[in-house]
Structure formats: C-alpha cells, structure tokens
A and B are shown apart, each in its own frame.
Chain A
Amino acid sequence: MDLITYRRGLARLAREQKEKRQVVIDQLAECGDRLMHTLRVAMRGDGVTVYRIGYYDPSSKVENWRMLGELDTLDDALAYVSYLNGGPKPSGPPIKPPS
C-alpha cells in the first residue's frame, strides 16, 4: 500500500469511526447499558478494515480496557454489541481474538 492510499484509508476510517461510534452509543442508550462497550474501526497492517470490540472493567487489576476481539463486518460487530447487551447470540461468525 502506498502512502497516499494509506492516508486516505486513515481519513476514511476516522469518518467511519465517528459514524459507527454514534450508532453504538445510540444502541447502548436504548439498552440502558451500564457497561461501557466500545466499538473501534481499525485498519490491519494489510489494509483490511476490522471492527474491534472492548469494554471498560474498573475492577480489573490486569487491564481496565478489556479487548474482547474483532469481527470483519460492521453488521457482525453490531450484532455482537447487541449480544453484550443481553441480545441473542449472533448466528454469524464467532468473535475472533484481535489480530
């Protein structure tokens, strides 16, 4: 990947990040969730976009920001956030450890 493509990719990710975060915040607000889940759009080293999901655990002495894993599509990631909030287990691919 050349530098210009990489920078364009990052700019696109920043836009997506903002939009998707709002989707998640809206969804969490609907669920009245007290856990602070995060969904981050990230670009892997090979240029592929992935969706990483974590949450904040104030009691952990190991790491407060707990990375649960990543999914390849936004729909799968949103389905997983819904699962975290008490929804049904997604029928799609299981969450993978972060790459």
Chain B
Amino acid sequence: MIRIFVGVGGNDEDLEFQAVLHYSLEKHASEPIDLTWMRLSRDPSSFWYSDPQRKAGWRTDRWATPFSALRWGIPAACNFEGKAIYMDVDMIAMADIADLWNQDITNGAMLSKPEAICVTMYDCAKMKKYLPSIEKIKEPRQYLEVRRSVLRNGCVQRYKGNWNCLDLRRDSGGEYGDLHDPEIKILHFTQIPTQPHLRHAMPRLAKEGRKHWYTAMPRRDHHRKDALEFFDKMLDEAIAHGYTLDRYRNPTPFGDYGR
C-alpha cells in the first residue's frame, strides 16, 4: 500500500485539483494507494487540530498556505513506522507513483529534490532523529525552521526522475516543449496565481459565498496553453470516472484561518 499525504485547504478551496490529482495518481499507479487529505480541523481529537483564534494546535502563522508545515507531521502521523509520500495538491501525476515508492532511501531519511521539497518520500522511522517533537513542529514559523534543519543535516537524498516538475521547467534549465515528455513524472503548477484550477474554483467559491485562501495576487492564466487544456481534459476525465467535486468536500469546513 502506497501511503500518500496531500496538504489541502480546509474550506473546499481546491476541490478541482483534488479530483485531478487523485484521479491521475490512480490512473497511472501499479500498486494500491491510501491517500490522506491533510487539512486543518477544529476537532481537538484530530491530528490536524488547529484553533488560530485561541492559538492552539497547529499554528499557521507565516505559512505560505494553510497547510505548509503539516508535511513535517507525517512521520508522527504514521507513528514513525514505514514510508509515506508527501505532495502538494497542485499537481498532476504523469507516471506510476510506485516508481517513486520503490526507490531506496539509503543516504539520509527522505527522498526529495532539495531545492523544492514539494514531493517527498519519508522513511518515517529515520525521520524521527531529524525532526523536533510534534508539539514543537506545530508552533508558529516552524515550516522554514524545520526545512532549514533537515537540509542542513543532510537527510535529503535526491530521487531518480523528475517527480516535481515546476511549471514545465527542466532542472537543467529551459522548459519542456512537450508536457508529455517521459522525463516528467509529476507536473507541479507551483506558481499560485497561474494555477489552472483557479479558473474553475474561484467562480465556484464565489457562487458558494466563499473565497480562496490565496489572495496575495490576482489570478492570471498559465503561460502554457497546452497545460491549461491538459488540466481541463484531466478534470473532465476525472469527473467522468466518478471523481466528482462533492466527494472531496470537507464535511466540517474549517472557517476562518486567522491569517
């Protein structure tokens, strides 16, 4: 079983990408997947409990997103046993995630791209020695603190393959001409204002009387028309296969992030 954890907002902001990511992972996977959506919860018994108004639980101050540092809680969420993959929600799997899952972590405790840790596979037991306590991780500003610490301590081993292709850029410079280039294992729409699902999510949220968590800059179209078309095609395909948006709604929306 491939354990995957994905960080998402708590107020249904990114349902379209949840459907596309989930469907694309299942479509290509050659082994079963257990996917956990990590989102803040008001339930004190939840592992993801947060109450920003009372400054309790996960403290999202200074996080870029309402889920940035949840990734550091994954080894503890797995009781420091086995392996687990973290990924952002704004991604499309283009290859079999088992090809990442079955890579060995021989040097350090996590497989990732050190300059962009948006896709990471943890050896949860080995991570224990590199991470502060879960209570410490929940404190404000810990996202960057922990990131600096794990990078400094050399626990990151680079994976084989481009499992985090940032907006179609090549690691060696330049851009992929074909988004179906076999080097691209996961396509990551990392620049938030140009994320393709926002064209659908923002009008939907407006109809529901809600807003997206990202408000820093206005939305604009991605510079690659083929990427926009591909996202729309995948969204249609996902919905046609039963990966409908309502299946991803948070039954108890989080409400005010206090950010």
Contact = CB atoms under 8 A, between A and B. Distances in A.
Interface of A: 35, 55, 57, 59-62, 66, 68, 72, 80, 83-84, 89, 93-99
B247 A96 contact: yes
Interface stretch (B58-66, B74-82, B176-184): B74-82
Interface of B: 1, 22-23, 26-27, 29-30, 32-34, 36, 47-48, 76-79, 81-82, 241-243, 246-248
Contact of B27 (A55, A94, A97): A94
16 contacts: A55-B1, A55-B34, A57-B34, A59-B81, A60-B78, A61-B78, A61-B79, A62-B36, A62-B77, A72-B242, A89-B29, A96-B243, A97-B22, A97-B243, A97-B247, A99-B247
A60 B26 CA distance: 22
A61 B47 contact: yes
Given A35-B1, A96-B247, 13 more contacts: A59-B78, A59-B79, A60-B78, A61-B47, A61-B76, A62-B47, A68-B32, A68-B33, A84-B1, A94-B27, A96-B241, A99-B246, A99-B247
Contacts, number: 49
Nearest to A97: B247
A62 to B, nearest CB: 5
Contacts of A66: 34
Contacts of B34: 55, 57, 66, 68
Contacts of A94: 23, 26-27, 241
Contacts of A96: 241-243, 247
Contacts of B26: 94-95
Contacts of B27: 94
Contacts of B247: 96-99
Q: Please list the 3 inter-chain residue pairs (A to B) with the smallest Cβ-Cβ separation, ordered nearest first.
A: A96-B242, A59-B79, A97-B247
Contacts of A57: 34
B70 to A, nearest CB: 11
Contacts of B78: 59-61
Contact of A60 (B30, B79, B241, B242): B79
Contact of A93 (B1, B76, B77, B241): B241
B30 A89 contact: yes
Nearest to A84: B32
